[in-house]
Chain A
Amino acid sequence: MFIVQPHYHAISRTTQDYERMAAAGVVAVAEPAFWAGFDRLYPETFIDYFRQISEFEPTRAAQYGIRHFCWVAVNPKEAENPALSRAVLAKMPEFFEKPTVLGVGETGLHKSTRNEIEIFEAQVDLAVRHDQLLLVHTPHLADKLYGTKRILEVLKNFRLNPDKVWIDHVEEHTIRMVKEAGYWLGFTLYPITKCSPRRAVDMLERYGWERTLINSSADWGPSDPATLHDCIFDFRRRGHTLQEAIEVFHNNPVRYLGQNPKFDLPLIQVETREAGLLASP
């Protein structure tokens, strides 16, 4: 199995994650910029963080044969400080030139406050002006429904190519509105919150897997990169073929992320040397 982990916060994980992911078939990860577990005070702290995920993390992942890519952004929680956020945004275009930076993300909303919306709009504008991919975080738990609706309203005000926009952390009550808007969408698998591996497979079966990305995420809180493999296991257990699993868990991330030519992994097609083997899932 070849797997792309499209949303992975390596900065908050130990190297053991890379070892286990490599052993389980992960060939590439993409790391969005996110909250550090505390609110940062200085633009320079963000800049060093962007350097860490764009310069250092690729070397750590490479020790296990995993390609590491990243995104840069001010996350919604810290967007409550507009002056700080705008100082960081001013430096982001320098990072768009780095060889592993894929776009602007994760931006979006957390509590859907006025400040968050102002900085979200500024980052969407930045992505459009620099022709970058855009990764949008939707809020957690009780705030998700309202926040997702607000995000879609904000995006409507921009001349965006929906192919380049990924709305992440959708669940059963937000999936249809994101699909109807034409964006890529993501399921994020957690032990307790967001989506479970089985519910993700339910949604794949119900809504199809076009324009859909699945990630375990992995951050400071209770989270587990292996939930992605639990999802693949359940997908296969329900009778879906190996090629179908590769379409969902490898080729779809390649299709979306590969719109940035820096993400240069190939699409994979399973072939067998003996006739008949493909009939068995």
Chain B
Amino acid sequence: MLNPRQVMDTYYLDVRSMLLEIAATLDRHDAAAEGEAAAVARDDPRRQKIEQALRFLAAGGSRDDRTEQLLLHFSEEPVAT
């Protein structure tokens, strides 16, 4: 296993790139939403899911289950028919 410095040395630039992709996608979504479409876009449950996930990641602290928690966040029970 890598030590903490090696983890950052190895993966920092990749994480930076992934964060920029998230930022660019949110910018793209906002830019595409104008007028009435803006409210609809804000209410898109997928956008809300993403923003909730980002707030969870931004909470900071030391933990080792962020991936598991995000997967639970994106999980759904089947709708009864």
Residues of A within 8 A of B (CB): 111-112, 141-146, 171-173, 198-199, 202, 205-206, 237-239
Given A172-B68, A239-B1, A239-B2 in contact, is the A141-B78 Cβ separation under 8 Å? Answer: no
A239 to B10, alpha carbons, bound, how many Å? 12
22 A–B pairs (Cβ distance < 8 Å), ordered by A: A142-B75, A142-B76, A143-B75, A143-B76, A144-B71, A144-B75, A145-B71, A146-B75, A146-B76, A146-B77, A171-B71, A172-B68, A173-B68, A173-B71, A173-B72, A173-B75, A198-B11, A199-B67, A202-B67, A205-B1, A206-B64, A238-B2
* Distance in Å: Cβ of A136 to nearest Cβ of chain B: 18
* Distance in Å: Cβ of A147 to nearest Cβ of chain B: 8
* Distance in Å: Cβ of A240 to nearest Cβ of chain B: 8
A141 pairs with B77, CB closer than 8 A: no
Contact count band on B: 10 to 19
* Distance in Å: Cβ of B66 to nearest Cβ of chain A: 9
A144 to B76, alpha carbons, bound, how many Å? 8
Interface residues of B, dominant DSSP: loop
Taking CB atoms and an 8 Å cut-off, the chain B residues in 24-66 that contact chain A are 64-65
> Using Cβ atoms and an 8 Å threshold, which residues of chain B touch A199?
67
> Using Cβ atoms and an 8 Å threshold, which residues of chain B touch A112?
78
Interface residues of A, dominant DSSP: helix
Q: Which of A111, A172, A238 contacts B78 (CB 8 A)?
A: A111
B74 pairs with A172, CB closer than 8 A: no
Closest 6 CB pairs of A and B: A145-B75, A173-B71, A142-B76, A172-B68, A172-B67, A173-B68
> Using Cβ atoms and an 8 Å threshold, which residues of chain A touch B64?
206
A112 to B67, alpha carbons, bound, how many Å? 24
B78 pairs with A143, CB closer than 8 A: yes
> Using Cβ atoms and an 8 Å threshold, which residues of chain B touch A171?
71
A143 to B67, alpha carbons, bound, how many Å? 17
The chain B residue sitting closest to A173, CB to CB, is B71
